[in-house]
Homo-oligomer: A and B are copies of this chain.
Amino acid sequence: MSDDKKLTTRADDFSAWYNEVVLRSELADYSPVKGSMVIRPNGYGIWERMQRALDDMFKASGHVNAYFPLFIPQSFIAKEAKHVEGFAPELAIVTHGGGKELEEPLVVRPTSETIIYHMYAKWVQSYRDLPILINQWANVVRWEMRTRLFLRTLEFLWQEGHTAHATHDEAEAEAITILGIYRKFAEEWMAMPVLTGLKSDNERFAGALRTYCIEAMMQDRKALQAGTSHNLGQNFSKAFDLKFQTETGTEEFAWNTSWGVSTRMVGGLVMTHGDDSGIVTPPRLAPIEVVIVPIWKTNDDRAGMVEAAMKLKAELTDWTGRGESDRLRVHVDARDGIRSGAKYYEWEMRGVPLRLELGAKDLEKQSVFSARRDTRVKAPIPRAGAPAAVADLLKTIQSDLFAAALARREAATIRGVTEYGQFKEIMAGDGGFVYAGWNGDPAVEARVKEETKATIRVIPDAEFR
């Protein structure tokens, strides 16, 4: 927070703004290994809340967690033809261990389909052993050349679900269930509207039958793929001999799905809600929802005002109106020797959704002064009943953030484009989301991409159901 230079604005250079805001809000930092990053406590706190929300939804839908090894025999990656084609160029390879050269080099997992379906093949004998609904929280490594903090890094954290089913339809239903969880999470937790649907063949996961995705629009009018859910068909079960005996005694290959979201979500959150003063965190994902800044004029006042702030904090955190396990997350900034203005600036940079100022006048008037991070609207809140009022305000901030992001996306979305000339004009201009027809020909997709840089982000649900 020592850098007092003004942030680059989003309008001036969105990409520079993004890097600066991630560093200055102390979400992350560059590591000494090129392309990999350090997730600092401010960023990790958001990721932890993301994990908890998703994990609860996975568990509520019958999934369990497990952990599979980081290292995968190189030969495994080659077993599924499309898979090796997709991932071979991005692999990190361990050639030495314990001071010796290894007989078979090991791959640092770029994703875990191969090792997981190898294990499932060992565990599954009959239809009674299905479905397997396992998720893991892990780090993966993909050797990327052009990296961006959170968005594309050499190593990242994610969850990867891997399931095995007795029928194609069950696997398909699973892939769609997860897509629904991702949508719900993006919209209700991240306050980030998403389009859901199918990827074109060209953009689908290496080894999948069908890839579903959630796609969000960032403030630079560009799309961010924020999560994918794959129906893998029997591609991996055939490669790893994952067979089961059916109820009628025949032998069949299992049907698989895999699905994941990653720390890229933190980058998506920044690019969806951030402004020229810093990041803006949706309350449900904010490690600190409310920062209380006590204000004193003279040193003699300080102790009293800090005490009043601590009392307010205690009242807010004791309140169980949102449930015992969802207390308000409150911090008091009682640091001495730092002006209140500097504190405001710092907490705005860090995206704390609500600031409460507490000075002598507020005490007199039996109120506290609130300042919303998103709209900058300031208003007094009566001191009596503050917890419920604060919780309400946070709820409003959460829904207003979603509404604002949705309005931005819709303002940058053009529907019903049928002329290629118009399409090219849009792409040469401000860009955005365009709903246009496509004949399904990959050659057309490639030509449009070459001529306009536009890619098919998603074939919306309505179009293929």
| Bound form: Cα–Cα A254–B139 in Å | 30
- Proximity string of chain A (18-56) to chain B, C-beta cutoff 8 Å, 1 when within and 0 when not: 000000000001011100111111011101100000000
Which of A38, A45, A134, A325 gathers the greatest number of chain B CB atoms within 10 Å? A38
B-side contacts of A418, CB under 8 Å: none
- Given the interface contacts A44-B65, A155-B71, does A29 sit within 8 Å of B139 by beta carbon? no
A324 adjacent to chain B (CB < 8 Å): yes
A76 adjacent to chain B (CB < 8 Å): yes
Return the contact of A125 from the options B2, B44, B73, B90 (Cβ within 8 A): B2
Instruction: Judge whether A97 and B106 touch: CB under 8 Å.
Output: no
Interface size, chain A (Cβ < 8 Å): 61
Please report which residues of chain A, range 209-251, place their CB below 8 angstroms from some CB of chain B when the two chains form the complex.
none
A72 adjacent to chain B (CB < 8 Å): yes
Instruction: Judge whether B96 and A92 touch: CB under 8 Å.
Output: yes
- Proximity string of chain A (289-324) to chain B, C-beta cutoff 8 Å, 1 when within and 0 when not: 000000000000000000000000000000000011
| Bound form: Cα–Cα A291–B94 in Å | 44
| Bound form: Cα–Cα A30–B44 in Å | 31
Decide if the interface of chain A is mainly helix, strand, loop or mixed. mixed
Instruction: Judge whether A97 and B89 touch: CB under 8 Å.
Output: no
Instruction: Judge whether A31 and B69 touch: CB under 8 Å.
Output: yes
Instruction: Judge whether A67 and B44 touch: CB under 8 Å.
Output: yes
B-side contacts of A323, CB under 8 Å: 324
**Complex A-B, nearest 6 residue pairs according to Cβ-Cβ distance, in ascending order:** A98-B143, A325-B325, A324-B324, A41-B64, A39-B67, A93-B96
Contact sample, A vs B, 24 pairs, CB 8 Å cutoff = A29-B122, A31-B115, A32-B73, A33-B106, A38-B66, A38-B68, A38-B69, A39-B67, A43-B66, A44-B65, A45-B64, A47-B67, A70-B155, A92-B94, A92-B96, A93-B96, A95-B95, A97-B143, A98-B143, A98-B145, A108-B108, A138-B139, A324-B324, A324-B325
Q: A92-B106, A323-B324 are in contact. List 20 more A-B contacts (CB 8 A).
A: A2-B125, A32-B118, A33-B69, A38-B66, A38-B67, A38-B69, A39-B67, A41-B64, A41-B134, A88-B99, A89-B98, A90-B98, A91-B96, A91-B97, A91-B98, A94-B94, A95-B95, A98-B143, A98-B145, A138-B139
